[in-house]
Amino acid sequence: MNRTKFAALILAVALASACASLQVGTIKPNVAATNEIVMTPELKGLLASNPKPKIVIRIPNPPANVTEADRFNSYINVIEKTFVQKGFTVRDRALLENLMRSGNPDYKSIKEKTDTDLIIDILALNFDKTVAVRTFFNKTTQKEEPFATNATYIVCAVVSLECRVTIVDRGQLGGLFTLRTSPADLNEYQFYVDGFRQKMAWFDQVSSGMFPVLSLTIAQENTRLDLTQVLTGRLIEEFAGAGR
């Protein structure tokens, strides 16, 4: 057997071995570890004495485009609904909006006319960020493992919610929150990894081939709504933790 044939045989055996040792992976990017949370002692004190204060949601900079505004409003509806489901009293945001349009009311007037304790300003709700995930949970070995090289990774979508909390009767900033989540917090996305940990394929796309880079995107509007609910739940958890 000449060298060329021998090398081809070795390569074929190696490739066959890699295909035979396909392993199953999933990702846990833990983007919540990058959350940014600032709460004043005054807000913590209010939440300690009143764990479920009356709130009103405000959108300081709503989208100008009508279609985008309607979509954004659906996310705000999810935020309000989640607070209600957790036992909070949620004031009608239209009441606050009308009050603000009528002039420049002070916080004492806002307190009297809306009967609310906290204003939660939604500063941003972003679905366009991503993170490169370079490790995976190997379900075959039950271990967190790195991909073989920096050229192999999964581009994972990240959703972030930025909000500001104002204590109404003080007219005082109570907290700033930037909370993050990803589709991997909602569902388990499984993929095949080759024996070299260099190429992958989603379970339902393995027939299309294996690649060094995969993308986990947010393809459905329902997923956006669900992730908005996840982030709201985490904001509520922060409120609950501050009150303990």
Task: Give the pLDDT confidence score for residue 4 in this predicted structure.
Answer: 59
* Tokens (6 digits) for 98: 């009308």
Confidence of residue 205 (pLDDT cuts 50, 70, 90): very high
* Alpha-carbon distances, residue 87 vs 44, 54, 81, 170, 243 (angstroms): 18, 10, 10, 24, 15
Structure-token match 């880079």, residue found: 213
Phi, psi of 59 (to 5 degrees): -115, 100
Q: What is the pLDDT of residues 16-74, one digit of tens each?
A: 444 458 999 999 999 999 999 999 999 999 999 999 999 999 999 888 888 898 999 99
Task: Give the pLDDT confidence score for residue 242 in this predicted structure.
Answer: 83
Nearest to 55 by CA among 112, 106, 93, 99: 93
Domains of the chain: 22-242 (3.30.160.150)
Half-sphere exposure of 94 (CA within 13 A, CB side): 2
Per-residue pLDDT at 12 exceeds 50: no
* Tokens (6 digits) for 220: 């459905």
Task: Give the pLDDT confidence score for residue 11 in this predicted structure.
Answer: 41
Confidence of residue 196 (pLDDT cuts 50, 70, 90): very high
* Alpha-carbon distances, residue 23 vs 20, 29, 141, 161 (angstroms): 9, 19, 9, 35
Q: What is the pTM of this model?
A: 0.87
Strands 143-146, 153-167: pairing is unpaired
